Amino acid sequence: MKRKHETPWTNALINPIDIQEQLAGYMNMLQDKQDHYWKVAEFTHSPPPQIGIQYGKKYARITLNNETVHTFVNLKNGDILKAGSWKAPQPNGVRGNIFEKDNGATKVDIYGAVYLI
C-alpha cells in the first residue's frame, strides 16, 4: 500500500493571506521558468506560455495559456499537487509546498509537477 506523500505544511492551518502571497511568488517563479526555457531554446515561433490561475473551493488550478493544467495548489496549506485531470489533482499528487524556501521550484518544471521518486 502506497503511503500518502506529505509536506511539513500538510496538516498546518495557514492564514489565507499568507497563501495568496506565496501563491503570487509561486506563479512568478513558474513564469520565470517558462521565459527562461523559451529564451535558452531560442524559440521565436510564439511567446512563452503565460501562467494563469483559476480558483476553486479547495484548490487553485495553475494553467498554461488557460489551456492546460500545470499544477494544483491546495488553498488550505499550500501543497503543490500533480494534475490528474482538468478538474482535479492526482490522489497521491502532493509533490511539494509553496512555503518551501525555493517556492517549490525543485518540485516543478515547465510541464508540471515532477514525478515522485
Give how far the C-alpha of residue 113 lies from the chain's centroid of Cα atoms, to the nearest Å. Answer: 7
For residue 5, tell me if it sits in a domain: no
φ and ψ at 5, to 5 degrees?
A: -75, 135
For residue 30, tell me if it sits in a domain: yes
How many domains is the chain partitioned into structurally? 1
Which pTM value belongs to this model? 0.90
| pLDDT tens digits, 14-45 | 888 899 999 999 999 999 999 999 999 999 99
Residue 50 belongs to domain spanning: 25-105
Residues of the chain with pLDDT under 70: 1-4
Task: Decide: 69 and 112 in contact? Cβ < 8 Å.
Answer: yes
Task: Decide: 113 and 100 in contact? Cβ < 8 Å.
Answer: no
For residue 42, tell me if it sits in a domain: yes
For residue 43, tell me if it sits in a domain: yes
Nearest to 93 by CA among 81, 105, 108: 81
